[in-house]
Amino acid sequence: MDVRVGDCIITKKPHPCGANRFQVLRVGMDFKIRCTGCGREVMVPRAKIEKNIKQIQRDENTSD
């Protein structure tokens, strides 16, 4: 799965605050994501987050 730092992911399960959108801060064996609703930052194992991603929203203006 091609997830990059700066992407916004929509998950199948919402965060306890009710939001289901997260900004990706770090990618590796663990993902560091920030909830767009409450701002809480969470470290999640790659296998778990890849199972729960519904959609990836990417800013197309960024160049690689």
The 10s digit of each residue's pLDDT in 12-60 is 999 999 999 999 999 999 999 999 999 999 999 999 999 999 999 987 7
**Are 37 and 17 in contact, with CB atoms under 8 Å apart?**
yes
Confidence bin at 1 (pLDDT 50/70/90): confident
Residue 63 pLDDT class (50, 70, 90 cuts):
low
**pLDDT band (50, 70, 90) for residue 7:** very high
Check: CB of residue 43 under 8 Å from CB of residue 31. yes
Q: pTM for the full model?
A: 0.84
Over the range 3-33, which residues count as b (16 or more CB within 10 Å of their CB) and which as e? beeebbbbbeeebeeebbbbbbeebeeebbb
Distance CA 44, CA 42 (A): 6
Q: Report the C-alpha gap between 36 and 8 in whole angstroms.
A: 9
